Amino acid sequence: MKQEQFIRQYQPLWDQLAAWLDYQQTPKQQRKREGLQEPPLDFPRTYRQLCHHLALAQSRMYSPLLIGQLNELVMRGHNRLYTSRLHFAHRFVTFYLRDLPRLVRREWVAMLLAGALFFGSFFTILAAIQIEPELVYSVISGEQVAGMEDMYDPERTSRFGREREADSDVMMFGYYIKNNTGIGFQVFAGGLLYGLGSLFFLLYNGLAIGAVAGHLTQIGYIETFWGFVAGHSAFELTAIMLSGAAGFKLAQALIMPGRKSRLLALRDNAQQAIGIVYGSATLFIMAAFVEAFWSSQAWIPVTVKYVVGIGLWVLVIGYFTLLGRGELAAERSQSDEA
């Protein structure tokens, strides 16, 4: 292909990419002031095409002027791509090290309500079963009780907390992620039923988990059960509570929209709720990892499991109560000085 034909065929694409890059480099205030609109462009795909065009121009020994123009455009695209990745990494780190714990503290009312429902039902049924053991059958079936007793039998020499014929740790890791996130989604999405779904699933999961814990404690499977749950309980139980708080944020928009329409209030609250759900999903994945590769190991001394479990609870509580406070105080100080 002659150089003139090559330019005629691909010049519109190069111009489109150059216009898109010009827009990206224009300050936001100037965009608003001049009413600029972002040109439609699939940047990754177009950038790959541009790199291919440059390689073709070099291999066909087109004019140095054309090669220089394409090379300059490639460098601009490369810088934009690299900058976008840096922005993403920065937003990712900032969210987990500052924004998420601040968001959870700001929504303390929803967190308190979710925690009271979940942990309240958990500890209530756990204590009640110590007094009246038969209460466990009012929450879970006899078949499930027998299965739990088998999974936490002190005579086990392989894995705790799973069926004897269960697959590898990696397969169980995937299973735990699916199971945990399924619980979290139910609790969260239940908020769209004016909070009744979130309330139900928080109570149900609190009662179900508490019944299992109460029964196994009552029959003496203390070291096997509590040693198993010690490691991942901080992540998993906190994640359920976070999911409930996110669900109540959705319910708040439907029940108390204020001066906004319910749709607008739901959209605004959903942004905060989704942020909480990101934290919940992260904790569920962390819980699944610990549960699959640490909690179930029979060779680890139970004292070590308890120590690690306590340490992880301290870590989770410290993360949500302390992280980001120093930066917030500094921002307030700067604002006051201004």
Which position has the token pair 């601040």? 102
| Beta-bridge partner residues of 297 | 159
Q: State the pLDDT at residue 331.
A: 45
Phi, psi at 292, each rounded to 5°: -75, -40
Give the count of beta carbons closer than 10 Å to the beta carbon of residue 64.
10
Least confident of 119-128, 181-190, 320-329: 320-329
- pLDDT-based confidence at 236, cuts 50/70/90? very high
- pLDDT-based confidence at 185, cuts 50/70/90? very high
For the segment 133-153, the average pLDDT, to the nearest whole number, is: 91
Q: Is the pLDDT of residue 335 over 70?
A: no
3-state class of 297 per DSSP?
strand
Under 8 Å CB-to-CB from 186, ≥6 apart: which residues?
197, 201
Q: Is the pLDDT of residue 316 over 90?
A: yes
Under 8 Å CB-to-CB from 310, ≥6 apart: which residues?
230
Tell me the CA distances in angstroms from 70 to 67, 75, 90, 98, 271, one per residue in order.
5, 9, 30, 41, 41
3-state class of 35 per DSSP?
coil
Least confident of 32-41, 76-85, 134-143, 284-293: 76-85
Q: Is the pLDDT of residue 25 over 90?
A: no
Distance CA 96, CA 286 (A): 14
For the segment 279-301, the average pLDDT, to the nearest whole number, is: 91
Q: State the pLDDT at residue 333.
A: 46
Q: State the pLDDT at residue 35.
A: 80
Distance CA 245, CA 198 (A): 9
For the segment 201-211, the average pLDDT, to the nearest whole number, is: 96
For the segment 105-109, the average pLDDT, to the nearest whole number, is: 95
Q: Is the pLDDT of residue 208 over 90?
A: yes
| Beta-bridge partner residues of 159 | 297
Q: State the pLDDT at residue 86.
A: 55
Least confident of 23-32, 80-89, 128-137: 80-89
278-303: b (≥16 Cβ within 10 Å) or e? bbbbebbbbbbbbbbebbbbeeeeee
pLDDT, averaged across the chain: 87
Q: State the pLDDT at residue 157.
A: 64
Q: Is the pLDDT of residue 162 over 80?
A: no
For the segment 36-50, the average pLDDT, to the nearest whole number, is: 84
3-state class of 186 per DSSP?
helix
Q: What residue spans of 60-141 are helical by DSSP H?
A: 64-94, 100-106, 108-131
Q: State the pLDDT at residue 327.
A: 56
Q: What percentage of the chain reaches a pLDDT higher than 90? A: 51
